[in-house]
């Protein structure tokens, strides 16, 4: 039985639900009001990412019921994604203290790691590491970081949606290339759900994703990458390569702010993509550049890892070096007023 009908159905539902959420946000005054820390200049409704959450979780249920997704993976995605989306939804509607958000994030990550099975042995430059319980701890920290970095990177029109669509389609391609078409469905359907929302969020955005959507995407992508690692460790390297733009910008910025002694949970505009959007005077060139980098640079390297058996750690280094240079060029983590850039 074919299930390709899921693609237009989920895309349409995501698009329609985003429209409804936009009306709901306008009626409840759930607006992002521009301030000195914002990258936008017009009050814009938020919370549209709930459309991605609802449609993708429904897709996971369908995949589970039709036997296209294993029970453990389904429970991992439903639990980790649902918990993350719920705390994000509450924060979108009224501030939730950082300590409670972080506690919920660790609980969601621990749930996902438990059902996925932790972190498998990894080969790094030819040396296989058996990490045991330490691997489980690292996997939890990884998911918490993925969740938060996706939230940090959702700061200009379309960037988080474009990242999700291109990465998930890339992930689906990787599974197809190595002859595992049954694994294609989750990332491809997540791309479809994100695309329905992206129609409303593409520059100039008519609605923002909100914490419920951005955190959800971050942890779901993290869980999918851990699931892939158990199938073939090379797939974890490939997913990390695909995620390179967000991982490098967010991590480089965080480290620079930590070294400077900044409060890391304080709102700021010092990511490379934010400096770049101010430099170009608009969001579209930066969002488009992310798509181009993902498709023309990161995806081919990821394919080399899974198909041509290129060393994963070496390939990741190759993929990340230009991204680090871009982060330096666009002053990731620097104080906003420390240069004459726009």
Distance of CA 61 to the CA centre of its chain: 21
Q: Do residues 59 and 78 touch, judged by C-beta distance below 8 A?
A: no
Q: Is 211 labelled as part of a ligand binding site?
A: yes
- How do beta strands 44-45 and 127-129 pair? unpaired
Listing DSSP states for 11-31 in one string gives HHHHHHHHHHHHHHHHHTT-E
**Cα 40 from chain centroid (whole Å):** 21
Token pair, residue 230, equals: 């158990």
Q: How far apart are CA 236 and CA 241, in angstroms?
A: 9
What are 2's two structure tokens?
Answer: 């074919």
Dihedral sign computed on CA atoms, order 216, 222, 225, 229:
negative
Q: How many CA atoms lie within 13 A of 83 on its CB side?
A: 22
Tell me the β-bridge partners of 31: 45
CA atoms 240, 321, 130, 308: torsion sign:
positive
* Rounded Cα–Cα distance for residues 82 and 261 (Å): 33
User: Long-range contacts of range 26-30, CB-CB < 8 Å, 24 or more positions apart?
Assistant: 30/92, 30/93
Per the rule left: phi > 0, alpha: psi between -120 and 50, beta: everything else, 124 is beta
Q: For residues 312-342, b (16+ Cβ closer than 10 Å) or e, as one string?
A: bbebbeebbeebbebbeebbbbbeeeeeeee
Does 148 carry a binding-site annotation?
no
Q: Residue ranges for the binding site?
A: 151, 211
Q: Residue ranges for the binding site for Mg(2+)?
A: 151, 211
């Amino acid at each position: 039985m074919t299930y390709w009908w899921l693609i237009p159905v989920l895309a349409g539902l995501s698009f329609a639900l985003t429209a409804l959420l936009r009306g709901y946000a306008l009626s409840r005054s759930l607006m992002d009001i521009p301030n000195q820390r914002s990258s936008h200049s017009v009050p814009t409704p938020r919370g549209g990412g709930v459309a991605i959450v609802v449609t993708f979780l429904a897709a996971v249920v369908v995949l589970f019921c039709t036997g296209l997704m294993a029970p453990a993976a389904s429970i991992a995605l439903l639990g980790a994604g649902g918990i993350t989306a719920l705390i994000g939804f509450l924060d979108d509607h009224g501030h939730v203290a950082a300590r409670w958000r972080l506690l919920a994030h660790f609980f969601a990550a621990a749930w996902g790691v438990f059902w996925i099975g932790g972190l498998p042995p990894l080969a790094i430059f030819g040396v296989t590491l058996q990490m045991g319980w330490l691997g489980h701890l690292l996997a939890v920290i990884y998911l918490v970081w993925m969740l938060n970095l996706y939230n940090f990177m959702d700061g200009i029109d379309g960037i988080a949606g474009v990242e999700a669509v291109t990465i998930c389609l890339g992930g689906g391609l990787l599974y197809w290339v190595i002859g595992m078409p049954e694994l294609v469905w989750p990332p491809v359907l997540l791309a479809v759900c994100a695309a329905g929302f992206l129609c409303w969020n593409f520059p100039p955005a008519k609605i923002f994703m909100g914490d419920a959507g951005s955190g959800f995407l971050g942890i779901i992508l993290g869980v999918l990458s851990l699931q892939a690692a158990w199938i073939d460790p090379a797939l974890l390297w490939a997913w990390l390569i695909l995620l390179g733009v967000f991982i490098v910008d967010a991590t480089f910025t965080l480290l620079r702010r930590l070294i400077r002694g900044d409060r890391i949970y304080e709102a700021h505009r010092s990511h490379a993509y934010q400096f770049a959007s101010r430099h170009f005077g608009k969001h579209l060139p930066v969002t488009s550049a992310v798509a181009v980098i993902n498709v023309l640079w990161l995806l081919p390297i990821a394919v080399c890892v899974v198909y041509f058996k290129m060393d994963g750690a070496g390939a990741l280094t190759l993929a990340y070096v230009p991204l680090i240079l871009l982060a330096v060029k666009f002053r990731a983590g620097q104080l906003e007023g420390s240069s004459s850039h726009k």
